[in-house]
Amino acid sequence: MVPKSAGQGHTSQLLHGVLDMCLLSIINEEASYGYEMVRKLRDRGLDLASEGSIYPLLSRLQKQGIIEGYLVQSSEGPARKYYRMSHEGKEVLDQWLSDWSKFRNSVDAVLNGGAR
pTM for the model: 0.81
Going from the C-alpha of 15 to that of each of 24, 48, 85, 97, the distances in angstroms are 14, 8, 21, 15
Q: What are the phi and psi torsion angles at 46 (to 5°)?
A: -100, 85
Question: How many angstroms separate the CA atoms of 29 and 17, rounded?
Answer: 21
The per-residue pLDDT for 83 is 98
pLDDT at 116 over 70: no
The class (CATH top level) of 8-111 is mainly alpha
Q: What is the overall mean pLDDT for the chain?
A: 88
Q: Give residue-wise pLDDT tens across range 39-65.
A: 999 999 988 778 888 999 999 999 999
As a whole number, mean pLDDT of residues 75-89 equals 94
The per-residue pLDDT for 115 is 67
3 in helix, strand or coil?
coil
